Amino acid sequence: MNNLISKMMNLISSAVCDKDVSKEQYALSDEELEKLYKLSKAHDLAHLVGDVLIKNALIANNEIKAKFEKQILLAVVRYRKKKYELERLCNLLNDAKIEFIPLKGSVIQQYYPEPWMRTSCDIDILVQESQFEEAKRLIIDKLDYVYEKNNYHDVSLKCGDVHLELHHNIKENMKSIDTILSVCWDHATVREGYEYCFSNEYFIFHQVAHALYHFLHGGCGIRPFLDIYLLKRSCDYDSDELDAMLSIVGAKRFFEIASKLADVWLGCDEHDDVTRRMERFIILGGVYGSTENSIAVIQNKERGRLGYILHRIWIPYELLCTSYPRLRGRRWLQPYYEFKRLLQILLDPEKRKRKSKRLNALKNADEGKKSEVNLMMNDLGLL
């Protein structure tokens, strides 16, 4: 597996950092190419791997080549659709005099050799909380988006197959990092019209904080490490200011090791035990993390299986308010809504099935996995 990961990351490095590829080194068998396709697709990176393999004529099998070509085409199409929709959204918000900030992928893509290379599952836009309802109404009424669901810090909307997360804040429901994420507008300046942008230091901080959130919930995929590497290489920022924010929220060590792993993958650094553990966790988690990873992390943070079960049963007040808006401002009703939520899970076959799957995964949790994750989290200063 380590050899396969190394080959994949070298190919990705060639795509985003223009490194040379040795054709002799990548004279891969069909079986190796199939494994490479499956692994890279699991991390939504098959378009980058395929781009390099095809440009260097390293795939003889037409069936395998067609799989990679499809991923490249999908990445380009997704980019063009999102670009078109982002322009519509920006024009609408500007015309309505609503202050907004494009987030994440739509900004980071400028640091890639070609913007289609940086895929994302949706468009993220932040608006002032005071203008959130107006922005949501206009987007639905004027641009024909449809409502999907409310989330902790945003509402999900959809137009065709393009998804929008319209944020009223960028907090992650993590007390530590939310101390900085809650004052995001203090770090924003006007870019053009009513469009704002974060300072480079704050933009990088937000990417690290968001990656950390997903990391602690089972994995964040490889993409954030590519982002960190390219941002550090191409973005002009004050490292002291960034370090100060990361230190306040206890994420400086995570950022340091994530940067080192990115340098191993894309630069010239060498693995050590710490980066190896982090790599295994990331690779096994896929793009969105895995149940096994999530259970191992929460067991370590909550001190065992009982702690994990209680963590899943009694969810935080702020998160509960997302599902039950009437609870907000009436904290004394939290026990009622906790019970209501559990009852709905018991009465909903799909929800019950998902919870049962998690409990079975907990029952069969590997103690070796838990111990390795414990070591990794200590390495990263997360325990």
Instruction: Give the pLDDT of the chain (383 residues) as one tens digit per residue.
Output: 678 899 999 999 999 998 888 777 778 889 999 999 999 999 999 999 999 999 999 999 999 999 999 999 999 999 999 999 999 999 999 999 999 999 999 999 999 999 999 998 899 999 999 999 999 999 999 999 999 988 888 999 999 999 999 999 999 988 889 999 999 999 999 999 999 999 999 999 999 999 999 998 888 899 999 999 999 999 999 999 999 999 999 999 999 999 999 999 998 899 999 999 999 999 988 887 877 777 777 766 655 555 556 556 677 777 777 777 777 888 888 877 787 777 777 777 776 666 666 656 555 656 677 788 888 889 998 87
Q: Where are the domains of the chain?
A: 2-289, 290-383
Strand 162-167 versus strand 123-127 pairing type:
parallel
CA dist., res. 374 & res. 379, Å (int):
9
297, 378 contact by CB (below 8 A): no
Question: Distance (Å, rounded) from C-alpha 141 to C-alpha 110?
Answer: 30
Whole-number Å distance between alpha carbons of 308 and 361: 12
Q: 173 with 318: CB under 8 angstroms?
A: yes
User: Which pairs with CB-CB distance under 8 Å and at least 24 residues apart come from 147-150?
Assistant: 150/322, 150/323, 150/325
Residues 6+ apart with CB under 8 A from 87: none
**Which tens digits make up the pLDDT trace of 307-363?**
556 556 677 777 777 777 777 888 888 877 787 777 777 777 776 666 666 656 555
- Burial-class residue 194 by CB neighbours within 10 Å (0-12, 13-18, 19+): middle
Residue 332, Cα to own-chain centre: how many angstroms?
34
For the chain, report the end-to-end CA distance as a whole number of angstroms. Answer: 28
Q: Model's pTM, two decimal places?
A: 0.87
- pLDDT tens digits for 253-269? 999 999 999 999 998 89
Q: Kindly state the tokens that stand for 21.
A: 């590829």
* Run of H or E residues at 158: strand 154-159
CATH class, 2-289 region: alpha beta
